[in-house]
Chains A and B, each alone.
Chain A
Amino acid sequence: GENVEQHPSTLSVQEGDSAVIKCTYSDSASNYFPWYKQELGKGPQLIIDIRSNVGEKKDQRIAVTLNKTAKHFSLHITETQPEDSAVYFCAAMGGGGSYIPTFGRGTSLIVHP
Chain B
Amino acid sequence: DAGVIQSPRHEVTEMGQEVTLRCKPISGHNSLFWYRQTMMRGLELLIYFNNNVPIDDSGMPEDRFSAKMPNASFSTLKIQPSEPRDSAVYFCASSLPPVNTEAFFGQGTRLTVV
The prevalent SS among residues of B at the interface is strand
Interface contact tally, CB-CB below 8 A: 46
Q: Contact partner of A99 among B31, B43, B107, CB < 8 A?
A: B31
With A94-B101, A99-B101, A101-B103 in contact, do A43 and B108 touch (Cβ < 8 Å)? yes
Q: Contact partner of A100 among B45, B104, B108, CB < 8 A?
A: B45
With A42-B107, A99-B95 in contact, do A93 and B101 touch (Cβ < 8 Å)? yes
Task: Enumerate 11 A-B pairs (CB-CB under 8 Å) in ascending A order.
Answer: A34-B103, A42-B107, A43-B105, A43-B107, A46-B102, A46-B103, A46-B104, A100-B45, A100-B56, A101-B33, A105-B42
Chain A residue contacts of B43, Cβ below 8 A? 44, 89, 103, 106
Question: How many residues of B are counted as interface, with CB atoms below 8 angstroms from the partner's CB atoms?
Answer: 22
